[in-house]
Structure 1
Amino acid sequence: MTDAPNYGFETLQIHAGARPDPATGARQVPIYQTTAYVFRDADHAAALFNLQEVGYIYSRLTNPTVAALQERVATLEGGAGAVCCSSGHAAQIMALFPLMGPGLNVVVSTRLYGGSITQFSQTIKRFGWSAKFVDFDDLDAVSAAIDDDTRAIFCESIANPGGYITDLDAIAKISNAAGLPLIVDNTSATPYLCRPIEHGATLVVHSMTKYLTGNGTVTGGCIVDSGKFDWSASGKFPSLSDPEPAYHGLKFHETFGPLAFTFHGIAIGLRDLGMTLNPQAAHYTLMGIETLSLRMERHVENAEKVAGWLETQDSVESVTYAGLKSSPYHDRVERICPKGAGGLFTIQLKGGYDACIKFVDSLEIFSHVANLGDTRSLVIHAASTTHRQLSDEQLTAAGAGLDVVRISIGIEDADDLIADLSQALEKATA
């Protein structure tokens, strides 16, 4: 299916990576619940371990169910290959792993999920890496933040929690001029709403836990490789361009070309970091992706209606949804996310922190959970939960102030959602 570019998205989301099982004829991708795989003979085993032949060795590295998912996500994103792993956070570390080293840095957007801000500002220091946080609407500041030790630029296509849309074309020009890979977290948009590779992204990461699976059942992550970056051009990425001691001097970029990052992610990333996606989780995600376009259409339709209603409420100070004409990011929707601005946004309540807490506690249809992208509508007060670890300055920069509530609109009846929000607002501001 990856060789069939004329197939539409709706066809590919069902068929890409899925072939009838050769042993049984099963039409749905089976769950290959196995740890290891029998080699044909000693020569076959040696060829697999030397990366001279593609196949299955051990499920920490490769698994047929996971492989089907990797092919499907890569196809939908327009990438050369993909590596699936245990979570979105794992995907971010695995994306940086071949690029970084002690003393090196990554330039990242201030508008990120709170856990990502902590991962970049605190956790990666333990590897000797560092991150420079910049407002990605200030293109001059992004360029100025890049130095000789910068190895990547990172942002979200539709930023969590505010639903801000990043000008990927402009950021890609900066990354290209600097000879650096652009990594885009496409979790909130999904490839149905945005295809970052078409806007110049080198790598695309996902928390498949969210919209791709779509039903709040499993965690998973994915890194999609565009296959378009020259890892050997600058000498800055020795893990991909120089001889690899663990494979007798093999050079990943020279050997695997457009699939260099993908093979490195499996042969070294999964081998040594062990952030493996289990086959049952892969199966759930494969089934979720089959209805991705249908769900995203409803998410967008509902979000537009609900956000428009919220904007008219006296108790609501502001709504950040980019699908609203009042949004400063509205002009980016048609260019970056032509099928809609997604289902995620925040509202700022005039009653402040106390009103936010009472509002969240008063909702009945909306579930108060630390997740987004579910078929169910979800709500959370980010400043006291998902973004609690941030400073006041970081909260403001991320769009998660004390008077802000994050809303993830599901696929229920929009009028029911509005009625629930109405009664909760009334109670919160009584």
Structure 2
Amino acid sequence: MLFPEISGFGLLGLVSGFSKGVETMDEQWSVETLAIQGGYRPEAAQPRVTPIVQSTTFKYDNADHMASLFDLDCFDPMYTRIGNPTWAAFEQKMAEMEGGVGALATSSGQAASTLSILNICRSGEHVVTAGTLYGGTYSLFYNTLPKMGIEVTFVDPEASIEEIKSHFRPETKVLFAETIGNPGLNVLDFEKFSAVAKEMQVPLVIDNTFGTPYLCRPFEHGADIVIHSATKYIDGHATSVGGVIVDSGRFDWSNGRYPELTEPDSSYHGLCYTEKFGNMAYIIKARVQLMRDLGTSPSPFNTFMFNHGLETLHVRMQRHCENALEVAKRLELHPKVKWVSYPGLPSHPSYERVQKYLPKGASGVLTFGIEGGVEAGRRFMESTKLIAMVVHVGDVRSCVLHPASTTHRQLSEEQQIASGVTPDLIRLSVGIENVEDIIADIDQALAKS
């Protein structure tokens, strides 16, 4: 199957039998329908459910066919480090749900974040990012990327356009942010960040993990690249670790600032990605160069699980949002609770942005602080029965965490505050259990705090 025949579909993992039905998909289907029917459309006598292709390699009958794979003239599956039919179906579904031209599954959300930057940044270059990031991403940007020669500047996402622009340099290649900050729960001003990215001629890369493609589609608000930790709401059941990068296909990589995509790649006989692959240059390069060399590949089984998770994403997210909002309202009224932060509450600073960018709901995570500070917070977490103390969010099961002493403990107190983490902050990922059972568990734990 040559590239022109599958333009816009999952790459390097689709076998012809898996992809024929996809090409006739109704482009008007809603995100909810795509979550169930997207990515893989079987023909007669094929498996109704996307199969797990648990094979490292694939057989060919002649040398020319195999040579065309290595020359990137053919996109049949070659080797599961680069592509596999099972994860191709997941990639295709994610691209459809986000409204992009292509996607790349990765071994973790952290791998997706890393590849999204390394795909267009080299040593000596620079990234500007919102400072309100998940602790793992903050550590990646603050500690590891600088060791590779890539400098990162953290900015207040509430700063003015002019102030954010003042941190750009001639070598700045990316503007990065999260749809909903984790755990600060600030909702991004997409209009502002998109305006900055366009004026500075850099792509806007958005981590949409908390937003999910059901609640928010960042490409509709000016983003160029979207990433997810599929480990969270996409999986939804705390079974599988993985990530995904989705390419909008809209950014002009030929603007003179991205030689990684416009200059010859010696590892492919001088191939130029923008010339050969047009608006899919970014996502194809991420696969055939970075995935090839760094090996951050997901397992076929995990992407099979992500496909299953996506089938119920819209149903689960509705319940997550409903439950989280009700829990937040009750916590606001509790005498032992000092403050509550949930973007779906009218009292939250991001409430108006939720109406604009997340009209279906503000996701399932909230934070709060209780009287007694850190020690009271520890007692609260140790006293819950239904709600589990785990290092996770986005599960169907409710879970709780104290970020300052866990996910953000490697950061200084100043860095924690910049990320939205206060010493008394408790993060609650509200599951889809009966909301009255969740609230009863919170009440009894607060009574012991």
TM-score by length of structure 2 reads: 0.93
CA offset at residue 232 of structure 1? Answer: 0.9
1-structure distance, mates of 2:325, 2:55: 44
CA offset at residue 40 of structure 1? Answer: 2.8
1:100 pairs with 100, 112, 121, which one?
121
2-structure distance, mates of 1:56, 1:129: 33
2-structure distance, mates of 1:343, 1:385: 20
1:323 pairs with 321, 339, 344, which one?
344
1:123 pairs with 144, 148, 171, which one?
144
Classify the secondary structure of the residue corresponding to 1:151.
strand
What per-residue deviation string (whole Å, max 9, x for no partner) do you get for residues 224-253 of structure 1? 0000001011x2211111111111111101
Q: Percent identity?
A: 42
CA offset at residue 4 of structure 1? Answer: 2.4
CA offset at residue 354 of structure 1? Answer: 0.5
Q: Is the 8 A contact 1:367 1:377 kept in 2?
A: yes
2:311 pairs with 281, 290, 293, which one?
290
The residue type equivalent to 1:30 in the other structure is P
1-structure distance, mates of 2:335, 2:169: 47
Aligned to 2:376: 355
Q: Is the 8 A contact 2:32 2:214 kept in 1?
A: no
Is residue 215 of structure 1 aligned with residue 250 of structure 2?
A: no
The residue type equivalent to 1:92 in the other structure is S
1:87 pairs with 102, 108, 112, which one?
108
2-structure distance, mates of 1:349, 1:138: 29
> Gaps (5+ residues) in structure 2?
1-21
Q: Which moved more, 1:348-357 or 1:57-66?
A: 348-357
Q: What is the CA RMSD across the aligned residues, in angstroms?
A: 1.1
CA offset at residue 141 of structure 1? Answer: 2.5
1-structure distance, mates of 2:60, 2:167: 50
> Gaps (5+ residues) in structure 1?
none
Is residue 198 of structure 1 aligned with residue 251 of structure 2?
A: no
CA offset at residue 21 of structure 1? Answer: 6.6
The residue type equivalent to 2:134 in the other structure is Y
Is residue 406 of structure 1 aligned with residue 427 of structure 2?
A: yes
The residue type equivalent to 2:181 in the other structure is A
The residue type equivalent to 1:386 in the other structure is T
Q: How does 1:20-35 map to 2 (within 5 A)?
A: 20=42, 25-35=46-56
Is residue 171 of structure 1 aligned with residue 187 of structure 2?
A: no
Classify the secondary structure of the residue corresponding to 1:347.
strand
2-structure distance, mates of 1:21, 1:204: 31
1:372 pairs with 375, 387, 393, which one?
393
CA offset at residue 350 of structure 1? Answer: 2.2
The residue type equivalent to 2:164 in the other structure is V
Q: Is the 8 A contact 1:109 1:134 kept in 2?
A: yes
Is residue 113 of structure 1 aligned with residue 101 of structure 2?
A: no
2-structure distance, mates of 1:15, 1:83: 19
Aligned to 2:164: 142
What per-residue deviation string (whole Å, max 9, x for no partner) do you get for residues 122-159 of structure 1? 01122111110111111333111111111101110011
Is residue 65 of structure 1 aligned with residue 94 of structure 2?
A: no
2-structure distance, mates of 1:90, 1:141: 30
Aligned to 1:133: 154
CA offset at residue 105 of structure 1? Answer: 1.1
2-structure distance, mates of 1:59, 1:236: 32
The residue type equivalent to 1:14 in the other structure is I
Classify the secondary structure of the residue corresponding to 1:90.
helix
Q: Is the 8 A contact 1:206 1:222 kept in 2?
A: yes
1:186 pairs with 181, 205, 208, which one?
208
Q: Is the 8 A contact 1:162 1:406 kept in 2?
A: no
Q: Which moved more, 1:54-63 or 1:162-171?
A: 162-171
Classify the secondary structure of the residue corresponding to 2:448.
helix
What per-residue deviation string (whole Å, max 9, x for no partner) do you get for residues 263-283 of structure 1? 101110110010001100000
2-structure distance, mates of 1:303, 1:163: 13
Q: How does 1:191-270 map to 2 (within 5 A)?
A: 191-233=213-255, 235-270=256-291
Which runs of at least 4 in structure 1 moved beyond 6 Å after TM superposition? none
Classify the secondary structure of the residue corresponding to 1:249.
coil
2-structure distance, mates of 1:359, 1:400: 18
2-structure distance, mates of 1:389, 1:349: 23
TM-score by length of structure 1 reads: 0.97
Classify the secondary structure of the residue corresponding to 1:406.
strand
1-structure distance, mates of 2:303, 2:174: 28
Q: Is the 8 A contact 1:205 1:223 kept in 2?
A: yes
2-structure distance, mates of 1:116, 1:48: 34
Q: Is the 8 A contact 2:105 2:244 kept in 1?
A: yes
2:408 pairs with 387, 390, 407, which one?
387
2-structure distance, mates of 1:144, 1:350: 40
The residue type equivalent to 1:68 in the other structure is A
CA offset at residue 295 of structure 1? Answer: 0.2
Q: Is the 8 A contact 2:31 2:213 kept in 1?
A: no
What per-residue deviation string (whole Å, max 9, x for no partner) do you get for residues 74-114 of structure 1? 11000010000100000011101121111111111111111
Q: Is the 8 A contact 1:163 1:342 kept in 2?
A: no
Q: Is the 8 A contact 1:322 1:329 kept in 2?
A: yes
2-structure distance, mates of 1:143, 1:348: 34
Classify the secondary structure of the residue corresponding to 2:278.
helix
